[in-house]
A and B are shown apart, each in its own frame.
Chain A
Amino acid sequence: MSDVLELTAAEAIDRITKGELGSDEYFDAYAEAAAGDELGAYLWRAKPGTSDGATGELNGAPIAVKDIFCTEGIETTAGSRILEGYRPPYTATAVRRLAAAGAQVLGKTNMDEFAMGSSNENSGYGLVRNPWDLERVPGGSSGGSAAVVAARLAPWAIGTDTGGSIRQPASLCGVVGLKPTYGAISRYGMIAFASSLDQCGPLTRDVMDAAILLRVMEGRDHCDSTSVGIEGGVELPSRTDLKGLRFGVPRELASEAEGIEEGVREVFERNVALIQELGAEVDECELPHSAHGISAYYVLAPAEASANLARYDGVRYGLREGASSGTDSELASMYERTRTAGFGPEVKRRIMLGTYALSSGYYDAYYGRAQRVRTKIAEDFATAFERFDYLVTPTSPTVAFELGARAENPLAMYMSDYCTVPMPLAGLPAISIPAGLAQPDGGGPELPVGLQLVSPAFGESGLLDAAHAIEGAIGFDARPVGAAA
Chain B
Amino acid sequence: MIDRDQVLHVARLARLELTEAELEKMADELSGILDHVERMNELDLDGVEPTTHVVQLENVLRADTPRPSWPREKILEPAPDPDEGAFRVPSPQA
Contact = CB atoms under 8 A, between A and B. Distances in A.
Interface of A: 86-90, 182-183, 196, 222, 225-226, 228, 289, 292, 294-296, 298-299, 306, 313-320, 323, 329-337, 339-340, 343, 348-349, 351-353, 355-356, 359, 366, 368-376, 378, 410-411, 414, 426-427, 457
B50 A356 contact: no
> Which of A330, A351, A353: most chain B Cβ within 10 A?
A353
B48 A372 contact: yes
Contacts, number: 157
Given A89-B77, A316-B78, A352-B16, A289 B52 contact: no
A351 B10 CA distance: 9
A295 B77 contact: no
Interface residues of B, number: 50
B64 interface: no
A245 B89 CA distance: 61
Contacts of A352: 7, 10-11, 14, 16, 26, 30
Counting from the closest, the 10 A-B pairs by CB-CB distance are A427-B54, A371-B50, A330-B90, A320-B80, A317-B78, A331-B92, A372-B45, A372-B48, A374-B51, A340-B17
7 contacts: A88-B78, A89-B75, A330-B90, A356-B10, A370-B40, A375-B51, A410-B32
Interface of B: 2, 6-7, 9-11, 13-17, 26, 29-30, 32-33, 36-41, 43, 45, 48-55, 57, 60, 62, 70, 74-75, 77-81, 87, 89-94
Given A337-B17, A352-B26, A376 B54 contact: no
Contact of B14 (A90, A298, A351): A351
Contacts of B30: 349, 352-353, 356
> Which of A317, A352, A359: most chain B Cβ within 10 A?
A352
A182 B60 contact: no
B45 A376 contact: yes
Contacts of A411: 32-33, 36
A181 to B, nearest CB: 8
